[in-house]
Structure 1
Amino acid sequence: MKKLISMIALAGALIGAPAIAAESGHPLDAAPKMTSDLSTLQRGAKLFVNNCLNCHSASMVRYNRLKDIGLTEDQIRENLLFSADKVGETMNIAMTAKEAKAWFGVQPPDLSVIARARGGDWLYTYLRSFYKDDTRDTGWNNLIFPNVGMPHVMWEAQGIRKAKFEERADAHDASKTVHTFVGYEQVTPGTMKPIEFDQAMGDLVHFLQWMGEPAEHQRKRLGVWVLMFLGLFSILAWRLNASYWKDIK
């Protein structure tokens, strides 16, 4: 029953993903294209384990699956295995649902298929759109997910920014004004340069996309061979059919 409920919830998330992205009102930035470069996935795995896996689980992914991105079992055990005892275990967290409710107001979602539910562009923009907001309990807010309960975990890398807004006339009704975002004010610099932070978030998004379908590249490579086989088989079937019917009038 729990698995059935999870599948229904995931289906709802996938169906509602485009609407979620549109409701924010803030344009989405294009995430870097997903590639087969294993180094970007390894950097993304490091960012995920060190920054996301404290509160967010990935219960559909096992640590030993990271061998698919070029890591050895020893590397996984020594550098990434913080929330489990064995490499074959799933990426769960120690925080309970009750504790999460008390600390954040809501349980942080499992990130196993978050990239398939939200989309790479949404995640890439979200991770780079935090700004300082002293009216929030966490001290942070987000442009495309207003009043989000998640704090800016990687603020040290990006630095502290404040969002600047202006009251502008509504494009559809000149008698009304709209609270419009016009840019960021960098209060303190981060440990990374802006371009470096964007690249790091691209690596993290790549890893989240990989977790949603670890066998994607293998599936695409296999698909090429399947299409080649079907093409060859079609030619053979066509000639066999012609040979069979050539003496029949």
Structure 2
Amino acid sequence: MRKLLLILALLSGFAAPAMAEEGGALDTAPSRIDDLASLQRGAKLFVNYCLNCHSAASMRYSRLKDLGLSETEVKNNLLFTTDKIGETMTVAMRAADAKEWFGSAPPDLSVEARARGTDWLYTYLRTFYRDDTRPTGWNNLAFPNVGMPNPFWQLQGQRSLKHVEGAEHGPAQFVQITQGTMKPVEFDSAMADLVSYLDWMSEPAQRTRRQLGVWVLLFLGLFTVLAWRLNSAYWKDVK
């Protein structure tokens, strides 16, 4: 046990500086995991903007029906990479090509929300800025020197990064270069929808699990009371 605790402490010690180096303070992601309309909008953003390069190999299109969508709606609006609703969300781009173009293959996003956390994803998606020193022309405040360009630049517009004078690493300010099709508040809300969908996709059964958990706890509470009364009745004549 002591060895296990030591290993965990060492791992946490290595992980903490890495997170700090990548982006510092994170913005809090709005939780919309129980909002089906938000999850539907997030699913639309995912298949239109993320699924071009990133796969979600552990997710089947048929699970989107759990969001209140009919099979016809999924087929007509969200089924882009295959013609069978039972297939997984894969992409046609080969990993070798992706590594050549971007420097590394785009990660599978099936459980990215669990691996990174929703706050990190929400901050990452909203902090792209123009950087002519990068091969793609883009950089990111939460993930410095990221190989991925900004897929949402038309929605958010193009921004540059300006550091406050006298502050070596920040705070930083974004300067709007071109306007996007969305207002800043609308774009933040759209990214909250997308992050909520990614959170849901990491475990589509989590809403059901939480609901069942409540009933299980109620049952255990009732059973505890009954067992306690039965035990009292059983031993009442024993001295």
Q: Same fold (TM over 0.5)?
A: yes
> Is the 2:32–2:38 Cα contact (8 Å) retained in structure 1?
no
- Residue 180 of structure 1 and its aligned partner are, at CA, apart by 2.5
Instruction: Tell me what 1:85 maps to.
Output: 83
Q: Deviations over 1:157-209 (max 9, x none)?
A: 0001100024536xxxxxxxx24343011111110000000000000000000
Moved more, 159-168 or 138-147: 159-168
Instruction: Tell me what 2:42 maps to.
Output: 44
Compared with structure 1, are the counterparts of its residues 42 and 14 closer, same or farther at alpha carbon in structure 2 (3 Å cutoff)? Answer: farther
Instruction: Tell me what 1:76 maps to.
Output: 74
Q: Deviations over 1:83-115 (max 9, x none)?
A: 112000000000111111111110000000000
How many corresponding residue pairs? Answer: 229
TM-score (norm 2): 0.91
| In structure 1, C-alpha distance between the alignment counterparts of 2:97 and 2:165, rounded to whole Å | 39
Output the amino acid matched with 2:60: R
Alignment of 1:153-192 (within 5 A): 153-166=151-164, 168=166, 178-192=168-182
> Is the 1:100–1:106 Cα contact (8 Å) retained in structure 2?
yes
Q: What secondary structure is seen at the aligned counterpart in 2 of 1:24?
A: helix
- Residue 222 of structure 1 and its aligned partner are, at CA, apart by 0.4
| In structure 2, C-alpha distance between the alignment counterparts of 1:27 and 1:87, rounded to whole Å | 40
> Is the 1:141–1:148 Cα contact (8 Å) retained in structure 2?
yes
Output the amino acid matched with 1:216: Q
Output the amino acid matched with 1:235: V
Alignment of 1:31-180 (within 5 A): 31-166=29-164, 168=166, 178-180=168-170
Instruction: Tell me what 1:246 maps to.
Output: 236
Output the amino acid matched with 2:174: Y
Q: Deviations over 1:207-236 (max 9, x none)?
A: 000011111111111011000100110111
Q: What secondary structure is seen at the aligned counterpart in 1 of 2:38?
A: helix
Output the amino acid matched with 2:71: E
Unaligned runs of 5+ in 1: 1-12, 170-177
| In structure 2, C-alpha distance between the alignment counterparts of 1:53 and 1:17, rounded to whole Å | 29
Compared with structure 1, are the counterparts of its residues 128 and 113 closer, same or farther at alpha carbon in structure 2 (3 Å cutoff)? Answer: same
> Is the 1:14–1:117 Cα contact (8 Å) retained in structure 2?
no
| In structure 2, C-alpha distance between the alignment counterparts of 1:49 and 1:142, rounded to whole Å | 22
Alignment root-mean-square deviation, CA: 1.9
Compared with structure 1, are the counterparts of its residues 116 and 53 closer, same or farther at alpha carbon in structure 2 (3 Å cutoff)? Answer: same
Q: Deviations over 1:39-86 (max 9, x none)?
A: 000000000000000000000000000011111111111111111120
Q: What secondary structure is seen at the aligned counterpart in 1 of 2:172?
A: strand
| In structure 1, C-alpha distance between the alignment counterparts of 2:215 and 2:13, rounded to whole Å | 31
> Is the 2:156–2:179 Cα contact (8 Å) retained in structure 1?
yes
| In structure 2, C-alpha distance between the alignment counterparts of 1:153 and 1:142, rounded to whole Å | 12
Unaligned runs of 5+ in 2: 1-10
> Is the 2:33–2:197 Cα contact (8 Å) retained in structure 1?
no
Instruction: Tell me what 2:211 maps to.
Output: 221
Identity %, equivalent residues: 63
